[in-house]
């Protein structure tokens, strides 16, 4: 699969999983350098946003928007994944006041390769949004065509509303 980087076509490491498929097995790391495996993400509806680099304008905007939205959906887990280092992520979250969602590192590119979201020639993840249900099945997928564009937040949040409990 291809996306655009500043209007130039770049290839992902393969074809990302489709709606209806199970989330593949991979590992990420949290701010405490603890390993987070796919099975750790299963158990409640989860919005997973992947971004190329937290230290860029669009990634910053996107992560902060989902951080703000996380409060509105307490029954949904919000996760942002980048291949920034754990220390870069911790510093970024502290500087930006991001604490309502989890920021996880794919520095080892486990998720990037298992989900085919890695752009090998550019060295970072594509901009995507996946929503999984409590059993780990992918129920929503958005692969942003131009990685320098923001995702369709309204579409993603409308999709997550279907999985939020009535308490939300």
Name residues whose C-beta falls within 8 Å of residue 3's C-beta, 6 or more positions apart in sequence: 9, 10, 12, 119, 126, 127, 143, 144, 145, 146, 147
Question: What mean pLDDT comes out for the span 157-161?
Answer: 94
Query: Residue 86, SS3?
Result: helix
d(C-alpha 23, C-alpha 168), whole Å:
25
93 catalytic? Reply is: no
CATH 1.10.10.10 fits 2-162, yes or no: no
Question: In whole numbers, what is the pLDDT of the chain averaged over residues?
Answer: 94
Quick: pLDDT tens for 102-131.
999 999 999 999 999 999 999 999 999 999
Quick: pLDDT tens for 67-83.
999 989 999 999 999 99
Q: What is the reported pLDDT for 165?
A: 67
pLDDT-based confidence at 164, cuts 50/70/90? confident
- Longest distance between any two alpha carbons in the chain, whole Å: 45
Q: Which of 23, 41, 59, 70 is catalytic?
A: 59
Question: What mean pLDDT comes out for the span 36-42?
Answer: 96
pLDDT at 56 over 50: yes
Question: What mean pLDDT comes out for the span 149-165?
Answer: 92
pTM: 0.94
Q: What is the reported pLDDT for 166?
A: 46
pLDDT at 163 over 90: no
pLDDT-based confidence at 167, cuts 50/70/90? very low
Query: Residue 14, SS3?
Result: coil
């Amino acid at each position: 699969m291809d996306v655009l980087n500043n209007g130039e076509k770049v290839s992902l490491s393969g074809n990302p999983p489709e709606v209806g498929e199970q989330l593949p097995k991979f590992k990420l790391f949290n701010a405490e350098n603890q390993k987070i495996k796919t099975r750790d993400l299963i158990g409640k509806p989860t919005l997973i946003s992947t971004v190329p680099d937290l230290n860029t304008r669009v990634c910053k905007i996107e992560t902060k928007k989902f951080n703000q939205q996380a409060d509105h959906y307490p029954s949904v887990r919000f996760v942002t994944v980048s291949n920034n280092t754990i220390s870069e992520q911790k510093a970024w979250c502290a500087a930006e006041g991001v604490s309502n969602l989890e920021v996880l590192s794919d520095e080892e590119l486990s998720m990037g390769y298992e989900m085919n979201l890695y752009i090998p020639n550019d060295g970072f993840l594509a901009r995507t949004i996946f929503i999984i249900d409590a059993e780990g099945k992918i129920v929503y997928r958005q692969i942003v065509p131009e990685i320098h564009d923001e995702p369709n937040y309204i579409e993603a949040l409308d999709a997550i509303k279907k999985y939020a409990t009535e308490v939300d």
